[in-house]
């Protein structure tokens, strides 16, 4: 098999839902290599606490690349305590301009309980509409499901869990073994 034919790591679903003064980030546990499930219980949602300032981050893409980005985000948060937006913009600028970081293949959803952002390698720091952010191969399925549930009396965690269940039923690269983190301000 030629190098450019290697199937590569593929797929995941991460969702962030902000409702009722809380933000919930949920991610599935499946890691796939081509058409094979390599692991079903990966933790793709993490709590960071640089300088006592809590942030929840979820990632889609290469795990090693995501951990590199999470370390950089932690450093930015330590340099700008309590300023998630500023730290996110600084990370996105570095990611876009640094030759090493440009090769990283991942996306992040980050929140401090108030702000909710998607950070990409294109230099984007996006604040989602409708208080929902979703990334990964099943992201659009989870996003659509969550948007349909937002007008209900259901809280953020239930919406995130139901949306992830729907995504797992549709996307073959997403499973139902969730990591869920809640944060509020």
Q: How far is CA 131 from CA 64, 136, 148, 163, in A?
A: 28, 17, 12, 14
What is the C-alpha radius of gyration for the chain, rounded to an integer number of angstroms?
Answer: 16
* CB-based contacts of 4, cutoff 8 Å, min separation 6: none
Catalytic residue selected from 12, 13, 80, 111? 12
Q: Give the separation between CA 32 and CA 30, rounded to whole angstroms.
A: 6
- The residue ranges of DSSP E strands in the chain, in sequence order, are 9-10, 13-19, 22-27, 31-33, 36-39, 45-48, 55-61, 106-111, 116-119, 125-126, 132-136, 179-184
Tokens 């606490």 sit on residue? 49
Half-sphere exposure of 55 (CA within 13 A, CB side): 30
Our answer to whether residue 12 is catalytic in this structure is: yes
Q: Give the separation between CA 72 and CA 91, rounded to whole angstroms.
A: 7
Structure-token pair, residue 39: 């692991």
Question: Active-site residue numbers?
Answer: 12
């Amino acid at each position: 098999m030629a190098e450019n034919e290697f199937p590569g790591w593929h797929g995941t679903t991460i969702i962030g839902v902000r409702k009722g003064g809380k933000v919930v980030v949920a991610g599935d546990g499946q890691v796939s290599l081509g058409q094979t499930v390599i692991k079903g219980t990966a933790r793709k949602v993490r709590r960071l606490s640089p300088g006592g300032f809590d942030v929840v981050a979820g990632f889609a893409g290469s795990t090693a690349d995501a951990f590199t980005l999470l370390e950089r985000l932690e450093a930015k948060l330590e340099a700008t305590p309590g300023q998630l937006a500023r730290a996110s913009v600084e990370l996105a600028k570095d990611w876009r301009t640094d030759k090493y970081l440009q090769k990283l293949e991942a996306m992040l959803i980050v929140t401090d309980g108030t702000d909710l952002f998607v950070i990409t390698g294109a230099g984007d720091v996006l604040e989602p509409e409708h208080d929902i952010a979703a990334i990964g191969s099943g992201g659009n399925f989870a996003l659509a499901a969550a948007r349909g549930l937002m007008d209900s009396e259901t809280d953020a965690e239930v919406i995130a869990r139901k949306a992830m269940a729907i995504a797992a039923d549709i996307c073959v690269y997403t499973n139902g073994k969730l990591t869920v983190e809640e944060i509020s301000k």
